[in-house]
Structure 1
Amino acid sequence: MNHTNTQDEAQKQAKPLTPKVKELIANTKSVILATVDAEGTPNSSYAPFVEENNTFYILVSFMAKHTKNLSEGRKTSVMFIEDESATKQIYARERLTIEATTSQVERDSETWNSVVGKLKEAHGKVVDVIAEMKDFILIGLHPVKGSYVNGFGSAYFVDENLEIMEHRNDVNHQSK
């Protein structure tokens, strides 16, 4: 009996619980953003966020490249990742990467007021100041699909509700 194959099969069958995904999000204050401009030039950045009804909201300035990219509805990827200082293995940090669509929230709408209030609660009074600046807009990031990794060989597809679907690959890492 090949002990390695048995372990590999057991790992593929043992899905992590969706609450583990939600816990990673709850323990993260900002989201890493990957956007592209009209010419396809990539841009990476970050923004503090809050979640409401399975949408991640960020308050961002048009002075940042990513804001124009987000406001024009181009392809977007967001990542939540375990703090480097808390990880046991830097190569296997827990992370959730999501493909997302975007929408701009109308200033002073019910959603704007609710979300800006939650941002202030989560990130402090600075939100009052930046929410009044006209170059700041509120963007909703709506998950489409993604992947969750919580260790070597432990990668899973997630759906738009961030529910674990299945193991991400059937191919193990190869040695030389």
Structure 2
Amino acid sequence: MNHTNAQEEANRKAKPVAPKVKELIERTKSVILATVDAEGTPNSSYAPYVQIGNTLYVLVSFMARHTKNLADGRKTSVMFIEDESATKQIYARERLTIEASTSQIERDSATWDTVVTKLKETHGKVVDVISEMGDFILIALQPVKGSYVNGFGSAYFVDENLEILEHRNDVNHQSK
């Protein structure tokens, strides 16, 4: 098998199917959040989440810096990443990064009730306590676009439905 055929075969075998993206999301109980404040200062944090449809929801406190950034609708990135203890290669951890728009869900709305119920089912009774605290708000994170990586040379564009669009990198890593 020549180099071109071998590379094509490797790419074919490496290409993930859409359910792999969904499996990574399902295996993850919290998301890493990257936000920016009004001055453009970045902040990274995390929050437990639930997914309903393609929308992710986080119940977050204004005691955390990221909450104001999320509530103000500033640029947000969300990352799901394979647990370090489960990865075969630390440089090639499976990960999904999504650019997302944000909106605050009003308390006492049907959406609030539905999401808080699912948060409680997923994360336990602590949600009963924190959802009643005045500094906690519910934020919807609506995916816009993203990327999914599951190994070296295996990076893909992802759409707002969290589906694989196409291979992200037609140029392989370059040697020195």
TM-score, length basis structure 1: 0.96
Provide the rounded CA distance (Å) in 2 between the counterparts of 1:12 and 1:157.
15
Give the alignment of 1:29-44 within 5 angstroms.
29-44=29-44
1:36 alignment partner AA: V
* Counterpart residue number, 1:53: 53
* Counterpart residue number, 1:135: 135
* Counterpart residue number, 2:102: 102
Provide the rounded CA distance (Å) in 2 between the counterparts of 1:100 and 1:12.
28
Equivalent pairs counted in the alignment come to 175
* Counterpart residue number, 1:7: 6
Deviation at 1:38, TM superposition (A): 0.5
Deviation at 1:13, TM superposition (A): 4.3
Structure 1 residues without counterparts, runs of 5 or longer: none
User: Which portions of structure 1, spanning 4 or more consecutive aligned residues, are displaced by more than 2 angstroms?
Assistant: 5-15
Any idea what SS the aligned residue of 1:43 has?
A: strand
Provide the rounded CA distance (Å) in 2 between the counterparts of 1:87 and 1:11.
20
Cα displacement string for residues 126-154 of structure 1 (whole angstroms, at most 9, x for unaligned residues): 00000000000000000000000001100
Any idea what SS the aligned residue of 2:35 has?
A: strand
Provide the rounded CA distance (Å) in 1 between the counterparts of 2:151 and 2:53.
28
Provide the rounded CA distance (Å) in 1 between the counterparts of 2:28 and 2:11.
27
1:11–1:154 contact (8 Å) kept in structure 2: no
1:12–1:167 contact (8 Å) kept in structure 2: no
Any idea what SS the aligned residue of 1:175 has?
A: coil
Provide the rounded CA distance (Å) in 2 between the counterparts of 1:71 and 1:11.
43
Residue 74 (str. 1) matches residue 78 (str. 2): no
Q: What is the percent sequence identity of the aligned residues?
A: 81
